[in-house]
Structure 1
Amino acid sequence: MSKKQDIINTALNLFNSHSYNSIGIDRIISESGVAKMTFYKYFPSKAKLIEECLNTRNHNLQESLDAAIAECDPKDYLSHIRTIFVWYDAWFRSVDFNGCMFQKAVEEISKIYPSSLQPAIDYKEWLKAQLCKGLQHLGISQPLQLASFLSSILDGMTIQAQINPEQVRLDDYWKRVETLIQMELV
């Protein structure tokens, strides 16, 4: 693994476990085991590091969700959408779940480092496109609007899971989502 990747992985873990504002460059340098000069060779500013971390997070999420969807029946588009919800539910129950790094970025650093928000925007657009694709294949007349709404439901589930994961009951959410989809099919 490269020194640059060591820095990114260390920063991702620290930012996920704590916050962007509470973690300084010196701690990242120390915990990644690189020299200060090496750090600044790759990342001239904290903003660039955060942006690179969020790009990496975006890539990792897309890769993981794509792999989960690829295991579905290729013609069962409702299962594609449900798989996204199941993936999120599993993430909420994972040991390293500390909320969404994109949501944290919007809350903590959007005014300080506005350029670092692009990966969050890119992920949300990608997620909506995945949902939209499934909804289109199901025959929904306005798939983008419903995909945006489903994406908002996932955001809400993520926030609720951060507060109390036991209150996020996938089956309850999915019944409502399925009802919404069925209503749009009529």
Structure 2
Amino acid sequence: MPASKRDQLLATAERLFYEEGFHATGIDRIVAAAGVVRMTLYNHFDSKEALVAAVLQARHERFMASLEAASAAALPGEATLALVEAHGRWLAQCSQQGCILVKAMGEFAGHSAEIHALATAAKRELLARFEVAVARDGLAHATDLARRLFLVLEGSNTAVVLLGMRAGLTDTRAVVDALLAAARSETP
């Protein structure tokens, strides 16, 4: 079944925003690449900012669904590690140039409080997901551990760009394993 014009616009805008930047990508570029007319875009999105928000929301929902699936399939005591592995798969498949939310926070910090808030809320949701997994696994210092794991994974978003995917994910996993081993040794 062919994608709807809205879905086509979202997919095209996501790719262009990710590859070229939000501010560097104009509406004319998006509609040309999507093969639609400008009016089609404005029939679905009131503004470029609304399109950016929809792109970020749709991408975040896909990411969180991948984490949820991994967590739901995890064996008892392995929810945290399942989230880490799902994050690595997402990086390898969808975020080889870093995190689109971080890019949005950087580009919109001084331009759109709404877009910046949407991106930071998504990051807070990720942190909360780790807090739930760590608590579910019964690991010591759950809040501190979740925050540290979050920091490691956020660092991996940048590290894979600099170090390459394999080294970035291997080193991320080594740090995560050390954090989890320490937490397990302190767990009563």
Q: How does 1:77-96 map to 2 (within 5 A)?
A: 77=77, 79-94=78-93
Find the aligned partners of 1:58 and 1:136 in 2 and give their Cα distance: 23
Matched, 1:56 2:21: no
Runs of 4+ aligned structure 1 residues displaced above 3 Å come to 138-142
Show structure 2 runs of 5+ residues with no match: none
Give the counterpart letter for 1:158 in structure 2.
Answer: N
Counterpart for residue 115 of structure 1: 114
Counterpart for residue 36 of structure 1: 38
The 10-residue stretch of structure 1 (149-158 or 82-91) with the greater mean CA deviation from structure 2: 82-91
Shift of residue 62, structure 1, vs aligned partner: 0.8
The 10-residue stretch of structure 1 (93-102 or 59-68) with the greater mean CA deviation from structure 2: 93-102
1:72 is aligned, of 74, 86, 93, to 74
Change (3 A) 1:111 1:64: same
- Per the normalisation by structure 2, the TM-score is 0.86
Find the aligned partners of 1:158 and 1:32 in 2 and give their Cα distance: 28
Instruction: Work out whether residues 92 and 158 of structure 1, in 8 Å CA contact, stay in contact via their aligned partners in 2.
Output: yes
Instruction: Work out whether residues 139 and 184 of structure 2, in 8 Å CA contact, stay in contact via their aligned partners in 1.
Output: no
- Per the normalisation by structure 1, the TM-score is 0.87
Secondary structure of the 1:147 match is helix
Query: Per-residue displacement from partner, 1:60-96 (whole Å, max 9, x unpaired)?
Result: 10111111222212xx23x211112112222333376
Q: CA RMSD in A?
A: 2.0
Shift of residue 184, structure 1, vs aligned partner: 4.5
Task: Tell me: higher relative CO, structure 1 or 2? Use CA pairs within 8 A at least 6 residues apart.
Answer: 1
Shift of residue 25, structure 1, vs aligned partner: 0.8
Identity, % of aligned positions: 24
Change (3 A) 1:138 1:64: closer
Show structure 1 runs of 5+ residues with no match: none
Aligned residues: 183
Instruction: Work out whether residues 51 and 117 of structure 1, in 8 Å CA contact, stay in contact via their aligned partners in 2.
Output: no
Counterpart for residue 160 of structure 1: 159
Query: Per-residue displacement from partner, 1:22-55 (whole Å, max 9, x unpaired)?
Result: 2111100111122111212222222111111101
